[in-house]
Structure 1
Amino acid sequence: MNAISSVVQQPANDEVDLAALFHSLWEQKRLIALVTALISMMAAAYAFLATPEYEVQSVLRPAAIKDLDALSRTGVYKLTPEQAMQRVGATLESYDTRLEFFRANQGLFEALRQPNRSLEQTFERFNQEAFKMLLPDSKKAGNLSSFVGIQLTYPQDVDGVALLNGLVEYSLQVERERIAADLAVVIQNRLNQLDAQMAAARASYEASKEAKIAKLLEADNLKRADLQDELKALRQQLKAQRDNRVAQLDEAIRIAKALGISKPATPSSLGEGERMAQGNVIRTEVNNQQIPLYFMGREALEAERNALLQRRSDDFTAPRIAQIAKELRLLANNRQIEVLNKRENEDLFLKDLATWRGEAARLRNLNVDVSSLKLVSIDQVALEPLHPIKPKKALILTLGLVLGGMLGLFIALLGNMLRRKPETLALAHTA
């Protein structure tokens, strides 16, 4: 019977307990308020006493084509606006560039110094926590143009605006110096290539000229040797012909002496005796055969033989000998070789040399002012922020108030549970 009554009374006890709970919490409202106020004060202390942190950013976009036209007109160094922006972005992201900027501008980082850390250690932590690169999201189709940005989060005592703008300008200057160095190396390499081409052309010209002179000399020597051989053979031929003629004359003289022919005669007159002519006689003889040489008479034949024996040279008898002498005289001096050897400025005869010299002169006279080269367009410079990003006071105060209230309620509930436990045990013992 007692068990049934306890079961029936259980819902009523729960309602009484809930009401008692709220009553107990109301009685501990001062404790809840005190805890809430304490946590809120701690949150407020953090919100108002914590070092504020600010955030600035700078955004770079590709420069206009005209800004890089002076570099493109060199003809040896090509750099598009997108490539220039990517190079500047890589320089901004470079740890070495940031460290060099830190070493050159330590005054901007003076507030970050800590007693137990070196400057490099201080910069290492600041570099990891403060800088963030801003890049376009390739997954979003709404990006109308590419850009590169850098974001800086810094404490209140640091001049973040000067630091970030200085870093951007320093990176631009570093990249300009790199481009100037690259341009100088490219130009020098091109000049070295042109010098090598001109030297090779000169060497090739000298070799070709020497080869041409050698060919001309060889041709002259060969022709001279052929003419001298022809001259020698022709003189031997003429001498042989003269000796043959002398032998023929000797034979004809002997026959003429035997026949008693002293004066030129004919075959028909040879058989007639001397007789007195009673009038003028006109004799005509027609003979198709060659008259033998002894009919010239002994006197004429001896005169011819003596002349042949006294002859010292037969050159005048052959017109070809005079022609050979002329040709040999012309071969004594090759005017083409003389002209080749007397060239004073042989560069004038080199192919493409004028083009190479013109290009070399243009490269040496290039005057590109890289120091004023606009590599990127600064779309957004770092400006002094209007309010810090940390701490967020309203959020911290709200969280402090909520957490303080929750902690106060928890403490009140815990205290209520601890007080009710002995009473519950006593009632259970009595039952």
Structure 2
Amino acid sequence: MSSSFRIPPVSQNDEIDIVELVQSIWQHKKLILAFALGAGLLATAYAFIATPEYSVNSVLRPAALNELDALNRSEVYKLPPEAALIKVGASLESYEVRLNFFKENQKLFEAFVRPGRTLEQSFEEFNRNSIVLTRSDPKNNTAIDSNITLHLNYPAGVDGVAILNNFVGYAVEAERLKIASDMRVIVKNRISEIQGKLEAARAGYDNDKQARIAFLLESDSMKRSQLQDELRALRIQLKELRADRISQLEEAIVIARSLGIHKPTTPSLLGEVDRPNSSVMKTEINNQQIPLYFMGVEALLAERSALQRRTSDDFADGRIAQISKELQLLRTNREVEVLESRANEELFLSGVQPLRAEMVRLQNLNIDLDGLKLVSIDKLALEPISPIKPKRFLVIVVGVLCGIVLGLAIAVVMYFSRRSKIAVLNEVPLLK
């Protein structure tokens, strides 16, 4: 048994023949056309069956200065237009505000409600990608150019224009109510603060008045006690002086009796008692005090008797009358009477006039917060002319192109598959 192998010559040229490839693709033109037509029909069906989705937008800008002038001039609440726009933007982004709007306007969101879902779950489906808020970049825009843009994408059957416009109005109103509430609280707190300061001023005034009255009464009491002590001391002094005077008189009476002096006399006259009478009148000049007994027994007895019968020595010193006068004046303190008889003590509070003026201003503060315009709606949402998707023409064109590409890919695969089979057949060995 014998065997032999015969190896036929095989071309080693693996380069792709472009012409042959194009011819192969052209041979499959019907297949490519079929794929293009099929994909185009599927794309057309999708374009006309898919639910259209629309988009609307609204633009907000800062309000004019005069819109917020009354609020800012109140000196209670400062709100520049740019700050008002930021507040409204925060309200528009607030989850709570959006949820409350969703709950209060359920008729507008009936398309998002699904059986078996809670209201919050239905809201999540709407809120996830429906409303998008964009702000202008403050670094690249002036205050005049600052704005907030709201975009709302919604499917057909939903009144997106009403949703967006009503939501903008709802958020602005919510922020206005919040500012009005803050304004009332601030005014109420300031009035309470001023009332507290006035009460403190009244309490301080009452304390000062009572302290002043107490000081005056204490001063009068102390002065009265001092005068009474002085009066008692003076009376004791006068009584002792009277007793001393009586003792002096009794001693002088004894001396006068022993000298036989019954009538008032002088030392010179006493020495001339035994001399004959003459018609000469003498005048005695003496700078020395004449002893008391020269007054004579009769005068001394009369004075002693008068002193012994005296019941009061007050008239003997003028200071006692002065003390009595001062004590009489101290019975009533007119300043205390005036302080206690004040009918309107509010007039005497010091440093409260600015507080009263501020309270009157706050109580009469009248700002039309109901008509407060926080932002300017530069553009309202308008009914769109056409949906943003699906874009039917583009979908159909893309579908046809995808079909063509798929057909071309299959034609190329078939070309290379056929070449691989020919190469394999050329390499099969012959057996003998």
Into which bin does the TM-score normalised by the smaller protein fall? over 0.9
Distance 2:142 2:224 in 1: 89
Quote how far apart the aligned CAs of 1:262 are: 1.0
Residue 23 of structure 2 is aligned to residue 23 of structure 1: yes
2:364 alignment partner in structure 1: 365
Q: Which structure is higher in helix share?
A: 1
Residues 67-118 of structure 1 show CA distances to partners (whole Å, capped at 9, x for unaligned) of 1122223322222212211111010001111111111111111223334533
1:88 alignment partner in structure 2: 88
Distance 2:285 2:363 in 1: 98
1:384 alignment partner in structure 2: 383
Distance 1:300 1:114 in 2: 137
**For 1:48, what is the secondary structure of its paired residue?**
helix
| Inter-CA distance 209–20: structure 2 relative to 1 (3 Å threshold) | same
Q: CA RMSD in A?
A: 2.3
Distance 2:401 2:429 in 1: 42
Quote how far apart the aligned CAs of 1:270 are: 1.8
TM-score (norm. length: structure 1): 0.92
Distance 1:88 1:43 in 2: 43
Residue 110 of structure 2 is aligned to residue 110 of structure 1: yes
Distance 1:376 1:63 in 2: 4
1:73 alignment partner in structure 2: 73
Which deviates more from structure 2 when the two are superposed, residues 171-180 or residues 418-427? 418-427
1:414 alignment partner in structure 2: 413
Quote how far apart the aligned CAs of 1:396 are: 2.0
Once the two structures are superposed, the pairs formed by residues 332-351 of structure 1 within 5 Å of their partners are: 332-351=331-350
| Inter-CA distance 267–350: structure 2 relative to 1 (3 Å threshold) | same
Residues 180-205 of structure 1 show CA distances to partners (whole Å, capped at 9, x for unaligned) of 11111111111211221122222221
| Inter-CA distance 210–63: structure 2 relative to 1 (3 Å threshold) | same
Among all aligned residue pairs of Structure 1 and Structure 2, give the percentage whose two residues are the same amino acid.
51
Distance 2:192 2:104 in 1: 37
Once the two structures are superposed, the pairs formed by residues 155-194 of structure 1 within 5 Å of their partners are: 155-194=155-194
1:137 alignment partner in structure 2: 137
Alignment-mate amino acid for residue 293 of structure 1: L
1:215 alignment partner in structure 2: 215
2:319 alignment partner in structure 1: 320
2:3 alignment partner in structure 1: none
| Inter-CA distance 389–142: structure 2 relative to 1 (3 Å threshold) | farther
Distance 2:358 2:141 in 1: 46
Quote how far apart the aligned CAs of 1:18 are: 3.9
Alignment-mate amino acid for residue 26 of structure 1: W
Structure 2 gaps of 5+ residues are 1-5
Residue 199 of structure 2 is aligned to residue 196 of structure 1: no
In 1, are the aligned partners of 2:7 and 2:429 still within 8 Å (CA)?
A: no
Quote how far apart the aligned CAs of 1:4 are: 11
Quote how far apart the aligned CAs of 1:173 are: 0.8
| Inter-CA distance 323–70: structure 2 relative to 1 (3 Å threshold) | same
Alignment-mate amino acid for residue 371 of structure 1: D
1:294 alignment partner in structure 2: 293
Residues 8-41 of structure 1 show CA distances to partners (whole Å, capped at 9, x for unaligned) of xx55x957x5433322222211111010111112
1:265 alignment partner in structure 2: 265
1:252 alignment partner in structure 2: 252
1:34 alignment partner in structure 2: 34
1:284 alignment partner in structure 2: 283
Q: How many residues align?
A: 425
In 2, are the aligned partners of 1:263 and 1:297 still within 8 Å (CA)?
A: yes
Residues 369-407 of structure 1 show CA distances to partners (whole Å, capped at 9, x for unaligned) of 212100011122212222222112333233222211110
1:356 alignment partner in structure 2: 355
Quote how far apart the aligned CAs of 1:291 are: 1.5
Quote how far apart the aligned CAs of 1:411 are: 1.5
In 1, are the aligned partners of 2:53 and 2:388 still within 8 Å (CA)?
A: yes
| Inter-CA distance 275–115: structure 2 relative to 1 (3 Å threshold) | closer
Structure 1 gaps of 5+ residues are none
Which deviates more from structure 2 when the two are superposed, residues 111-120 or residues 27-36? 111-120
TM-score (norm. length: structure 2): 0.92
| Inter-CA distance 347–142: structure 2 relative to 1 (3 Å threshold) | closer
| Inter-CA distance 140–342: structure 2 relative to 1 (3 Å threshold) | closer
Quote how far apart the aligned CAs of 1:311 are: 1.1
Residues 308-341 of structure 1 show CA distances to partners (whole Å, capped at 9, x for unaligned) of 1111111111111100000000000011111111
In 2, are the aligned partners of 1:347 and 1:353 still within 8 Å (CA)?
A: no
1:402 alignment partner in structure 2: 401
Which deviates more from structure 2 when the two are superposed, residues 248-257 or residues 19-28? 19-28
